[in-house]
Structure 1
Amino acid sequence: MKVKICGITNIEDALYAVECGADALGFVFYKNSKRYIKPEKAKEIISHLPPFVFSVGVFVNENPEKVNMIASETKLNAVQLHGDEDLTYLAKINYPIIKAFGVNENFDWNVLSKYECNILLDTYSNNYGGSGEKFDWNLIPNEIRNRIILSGGIDVNSLSMIVNEIKPAAIDLSSSLEQMPGKKDHNKIKIFFEEFKNHWR
Structure 2
Amino acid sequence: MSDPLVKICGVKDAETAIGAARAGADFLGFVFFRKSPRFVSAEAAEEIILDLKQASFDEGFAMPRLVGLFVDTGEKELSVAAPLLSHFQFHGHESAERCEELGAEFGVEVIRAIPVTGPDDVAAAKEFAEAADILLFDAKPPPGAVRPGGYGASFDWSALASYDGETPYLLAGGLAPENVADAIASQKDRPAFLGVDVSSGVESAPGVKDAERVKAFLAAAKK
Fold shared per TM-score above 0.5: yes
Residue 97 (structure 1) aligned with residue 110 (structure 2): yes
The CA deviation at 1:190 is: 2.2
| Equivalent in 148, 151, 162 of residue 129 of structure 1 | 148
Q: Look up the match of 2:90.
A: 81
Aligned pairs (5 A) from 1:29-48: 29-48=32-51
Q: Look up the match of 1:69.
A: 80
- C-alpha RMSD of matched pairs (Å): 2.0
Residue 114 (structure 1) aligned with residue 127 (structure 2): yes
The CA deviation at 1:183 is: 1.7
| Cα separation, 1, equivalents of 2:73 and 2:163 | 32
| Cα separation, 1, equivalents of 2:166 and 2:153 | 19
The CA deviation at 1:187 is: 1.5
The CA deviation at 1:33 is: 0.6
The CA deviation at 1:46 is: 1.2
Where does structure 2 lack aligned partners over 5 or more consecutive residues? 57-61
Residue 177 (structure 1) aligned with residue 202 (structure 2): yes
Q: 1:108 to 1:122 in 2, by over 3 A?
A: closer
| Cα separation, 1, equivalents of 2:35 and 2:180 | 30
| Equivalent in 135, 155, 162 of residue 183 of structure 2 | 162
Equivalent residue of 2:164, what SS? helix
Q: Which contiguous aligned blocks of 4+ residues in structure 1 show a shift greater than 6 angstroms?
A: none
Q: Is the 8 A contact 2:181 2:220 kept in 1?
A: no
Deviations 1:168-193 (Å, cap 9, x if unpaired)?
Answer: 20211010101112221112122222
| Cα separation, 2, equivalents of 1:67 and 1:177 | 27
The CA deviation at 1:48 is: 2.5
Q: 1:70 to 1:7 in 2, by over 3 A?
A: same
Equivalent residue of 1:79, what SS? strand
Equivalent residue of 2:179, what SS? helix
Where does structure 1 lack aligned partners over 5 or more consecutive residues? none
Equivalent residue of 2:6, what SS? strand
Percent identical: 31
Deviations 1:34-81 (Å, cap 9, x if unpaired)?
Answer: 110011010111122235311100000111342133212xx1111101
Q: 1:83 to 1:47 in 2, by over 3 A?
A: same
Question: TM (normalized to structure 1)?
Answer: 0.89
Q: 1:164 to 1:106 in 2, by over 3 A?
A: closer
Q: Is the 8 A contact 2:158 2:186 kept in 1?
A: no
